[in-house]
Amino acid sequence: MIGIIGAMQEEVSALLNKAEITKENKLLDTVFYEGIIEGKEVVILQGGIGKVNSAICVSLLLTNYDIDYVINIGSAGGLKQEQNVGDVVVSNAVAYHDVDLSAFARPQGELPDLPRFISADKGLVKKASQILDGMGIQENVGLIVSGDQFISQENQVSKIKNDFPEALCSEMEAASVGHTCYKYNIPFIITRSLSDVFGKGASSIQFDEYLKVASEQSARLCIELIKD
């Protein structure tokens, strides 16, 4: 069974519209939609916004279902000027941009007993890259960073770029999804369609305007990933 998690209703709805849902199972306040996509058993859920919400929901997913791998879909803010809204970022790794234990001589983002960069499944990353090339969608494979902020200010972006110059986008759930999967030893991949790019217009306005487009892009890629 494949576990698919998105943060927002728009992101999950775009996928539910393309799935054959056979059962709904409510755990705590989260609905787990069980069904079929491309002949494969899936369970889809809206994990909520932020690191704690997503970690709780992935834990519920992995303790209540026999999951082969996790796909985390959604939107993000681009950090590179050459990017455009609608581009897709695929994680080769995830990290926390807002974890700071520098007082203990640890680099930004590093927690004890956890890799600073949590690697996504290499096979899934390779497949996603090939799919996007075939779909003609601009893709970037690299680091996705997470923190509990919507990034819209110059000082926020500057700090992320200073601490993680290789980061392609920022959002609020990827690192905690990867962290939880790492603890459970479950393969994962994060895909993000860019709903805004810093420096190319007001981020909040871009986000509201392009969220639906970004959600559809993520859903398309997710379905292609599920296929054999």
Among the listed residues 10, 11, 171, 173, the single catalytic one is: 11
Give residues with Cβ within 8 angstroms of 49, minimum separation 6: 7, 8, 172, 173
196 assigned to active site? yes
Long-range contacts of 13-18 (CB under 8 A, 24+ apart): 13/215, 14/212, 14/215, 14/216, 14/218, 14/219, 15/44, 15/73, 15/218, 15/219, 15/222, 15/223, 16/44, 17/219, 18/219, 18/223
Among the listed residues 10, 139, 196, 216, the single catalytic one is: 196
- Tokens representing 72 are 């985390």
228 assigned to active site? no
Residues catalogued as catalytic: 11, 196
